[in-house]
Structure 1
């Protein structure tokens, strides 16, 4: 098996954009998560059109500096970890990936070392 699309039905949300901020991929969970904004119809749209000015500034900084951005949110009683990171192909910067992962209530935390 050389062409596995493991992320398509992954339980976390995965959105991929190109280096100009155009959405080029959304997995099934992302399409459901963003259904009220268009779901799969968002592929081809600009991230800059989907966010507030504050968020657009953060996006610009992330894209210019190619930095990871992560934070947690709570919406409709569901907590999520949002992890945004640059992606590369053959060493060339290609854009950003955003993963949205639900954080279960009572998630254990371990300090190891």
Structure 2
């Protein structure tokens, strides 16, 4: 992995899996985020094995249906929005990218209607 890629310079966690659920890429922020679980050593492992129930069943369903998932969490006082988005190449399912973005305590909402 090239260290000058933009994904390595951004303070959001980006994790990529293949169509079989094997973790293929983690940017440095992702490796730090998941350090307690092995960090970058998770590359090459099954993403389903990283999740307890009921998350494991939900994730397996997402792989089967190729559907996205979006939610927010709070862990250790930090709020984050998580986007799990299916990847396609020429219409063929390739896997997922998970993007985890920290949310500030005070986030303005702008209605642009």
TM-score (norm 1): 0.93
Residue equivalent to 2:27: 27
What do residues 22-69 of structure 1 show as CA deviations (whole Å, max 9, x unaligned)? 000000100010011110000001011111121111111111111110
Q: Please give the alpha-carbon distance, in whole angstroms, between the structure 2 residues aligned to 1:108 and 1:96.
A: 29
Partner SS, residue 7 of structure 1: helix
What count of residue pairs does the alignment treat as equivalent? 110
Q: Please give the alpha-carbon distance, in whole angstroms, between the structure 2 residues aligned to 1:85 and 1:63.
A: 10
User: Which shifted more, 85-94 or 95-104?
Assistant: 85-94
1:10-21 alignment runs, 5 A limit: 10-21=10-21
1:1-113 alignment runs, 5 A limit: 5-113=5-113
How large is the RMSD of aligned CA atoms in angstroms?
Answer: 1.1
Unaligned ranges ≥5, structure 2: none
Runs of 4+ in structure 1 deviating by more than 4 angstroms, as ranges, are: none
Unaligned ranges ≥5, structure 1: none
